[in-house]
Amino acid sequence: MAAQRTVLSHQVESAVTNGHDTAASPSPDPKAVAERVTDGIFAVDTNWRYTYANSDAAALTNRSSADLIGMSIWKAFPELAGSPFADALRRGMASKDTLIVEAKYKPRGLWYDVRIYPDDDGISVYFKDITEAVARREKLQRENERLERFVKIVSHDLRNPLTVIRGAFELIEESADISHTELGLRGVTRMENLISDLLTLAREGKRIDSSETIDLNEICTQCWETVETNTATLAVVDEYILSADRGRLKQLFENLFHNAVEHGPEGVTVTVGALADEQGFYVADDGPGIPAADRESVFDQGYSLSSTGTGVGLSIVADIASAHSWEISVTDSDGGGAKFMITGVSSVADPHAAD
């Protein structure tokens, strides 16, 4: 029987691989071997009728092996129609080539490794459940992608305070005025805090553990000082108090400010304010704006409208918003530039309002 011969050949190959002398031992009974194998094994003839099925293969249809013998595989498994497995079975039968296919069997929600061995009698099929292996592989892939992304974030976000520090040293060198050390120290402090925040992000993903009451004007002013703004201008037009993770919120504003300055003209104005319903805030500029066709993609990792951009900054912003359970979108500003709207933010009563 083709299926049993196939199983036996795998057993012999395994024995040779493990250094056993198969000639010194009697050949095992093929049927007994096939039934001991914990994976599914079946054979169909050229008319697609079962000629053999071990117990694991039969379990898929809730029938016994005896019930399957003589039945059409397409009747036993009508849900196979249109699946990658059906295509592979037909190709194997027609071409007489050994085929291997790995795919998800949707009716059971499981992934299978399927190996098809044609012969003159039809085809023999050996299949095993690889769902756990696929899950491990996908998890490893996600972790690798996250590590790569973390490296890009570190490289991108540390550049701004480094630029501030470099500028402070250049001013000291040119003017011999050590008062500029204050600017450099602010950059150093920001780098220390940023490294701490990024390490936390790397360990704990998107989770926000704690929040504090933050004044919009205060935090925007602090962030503006750590970004290379050149001749750009910041205007915070509304009083707004919110609850957020301070370190992560600073990253959000710094990246939005840097984006506006990097893509805007000399003297670009960046405006920050509360949305009309006070359920969020916005960051707008009077630069060139973002084309409507790019607005859904602009937050994707690696996407950049500039040939010199890293494609990381706005994806960081989106992740920070998501970590707070906020939503972010972009539209046109009143000045014709870009307007980033962060919604789902609950405002907090100003603690100093009664003073």
Digit-coded pLDDT (tens) for 272-296: 999 987 789 999 999 999 888 888 8
Bridge partner residues of 272 (DSSP): 236, 283
Decide if pLDDT at 208 tops 60: yes
Going along the chain from its start, the domains and CATH numbers come out as 2-129 (3.30.450.20), 138-343 (3.30.565.10)
Assess contact for 244 and 322: CB atoms under 8 A: no
The reported pLDDT for the residue numbered 201 is 52
Instruction: Look at residue 160 and tell me whether its pLDDT is greater than 80.
Output: no
| C-beta atoms surrounding 230 within 10 Å | 10
- CA 161 to chain centroid, in Å, comes to 28
Reduced to 3 states (helix: H, G, I; strand: E, B; else coil), residue 270 is: strand
pLDDT at 207: 63
User: What does the pLDDT average to over 34-41?
Assistant: 62
Tokens 């690889």 locate to: 130
Q: What is the pLDDT of residues 50-104, one digit of tens each?
A: 999 988 787 766 778 888 999 999 998 898 888 899 999 999 999 989 999 999 9
Q: What is the pTM of this model?
A: 0.49
Report the candidate in 53, 51, 4 with the shortest Cα–Cα distance to residue 32.
4
The span from the CA of 313 to the CA of 310, in Å, is 7
Q: CA-CA distance, 284 to 235, in Å (whole number)?
A: 10
